[in-house]
Amino acid sequence: MIALVVLGLLAGLLTTVAGMGGGLFLIVVLGVTRGPHAALALSAPALLVGNLHRAFLFRAHIDRRVATSLAAGAAPGALLGGLLLPAIPEAVVAALLAATTVLAVVRQLGRLRIDPGRLGLVLGSALVGVFAGTSGGAALLLAPLVLAAGLHGSAYIGTIAIAAIALHIGRMVAYGSVGLLGLEQAPEVAALLVGLFVGNLAGRHARAWVPERLESVLELGALVVTSGVAVLAVLR
């Protein structure tokens, strides 16, 4: 249980400071120690509440237009993916990760001006939701969508938390309906939540010390690194 608290703390700290990566880290470690099905089941409620807490901490900075568009697609997409739960072709996941990462980097460097628009955000987040329902780490694909919408800093952190909330609600409903998630996991989920809350608070204070000019570097760095790890894991 102590190990789960520490794991949650590291995941919350990483996501709050860099904007993403904590969920993937959590699922990868749980997958190694508990197996993929347990990793998906345990992470869904923990990450849901962790993102609720993060959204509350950054509530003043949330972009409502982008957040509602992403949530409208992410929830039903994740529900569909979680209900189907067959393996999506690995090459498709790897290609999509690579393409969206490149797009986000180019957009953030000012080399490409792009506004996904409301429909683009809804459709994009729905696709992310389908992937996340079968492989929770795919939620990192929300980051390129938020960056492509032109958000960074606290607006980026708060808005992506809202999208993640919708996504994890869809995952929880699906996993519960197929018997992967039940009350017996409550103690372990609670341990993860304690760590996530502490990590979120620590990350919020740590981010206050990050110079504004480094925010984009951190966000893009976390995106590139976690995407790279995910692609390598998929290709192995």
What pLDDT, in 10s, does the model give residues 28-70? 778 777 776 777 788 888 888 888 988 998 999 999 999 999 9
C-beta separation of 18 from 216 below 8 A: no
Domain ranges of the chain: 2-235
Residue 127 clears pLDDT 70, i.e. is over it: yes
pLDDT at 147 (0 to 100): 76
Which pLDDT band, with edges at 50, 70 and 90, does 214 fall under? confident
pLDDT at 109 (0 to 100): 62
Which pLDDT band, with edges at 50, 70 and 90, does 124 fall under? confident
Structure tokens at 149: 């919408």
Which pLDDT band, with edges at 50, 70 and 90, does 148 fall under? confident
**Range 196-230 burial, b when 16+ CB lie within 10 A, else e:** bbbbbbebbeebeeeeeeebbebbbebbeebbebb
pLDDT at 67 (0 to 100): 92
pLDDT at 95 (0 to 100): 61
pLDDT at 62 (0 to 100): 94
Residue 86 clears pLDDT 50, i.e. is over it: no
Mean confidence (pLDDT) of the chain = 77
Q: If you average pLDDT over residues 144-156, what whole number do you get? A: 82
Percentage of the chain exceeding pLDDT 90: 14
Q: If you average pLDDT over residues 223-232, what whole number do you get? A: 62
Percentage of the chain exceeding pLDDT 70: 72
**Which residue do the tokens 């901490």 mark?**
57
Number of CB atoms found within 10 A of residue 166's CB: 26
Rounded Cα–Cα distance for residues 195 and 13 (Å)? 9
Cα distance from N-terminal residue to C-terminal residue, the chain: 30
- What's the whole-model pTM score? 0.71
pLDDT at 128 (0 to 100): 80
- Is the sign of the CA dihedral 215, 64, 21, 221 positive or negative? negative
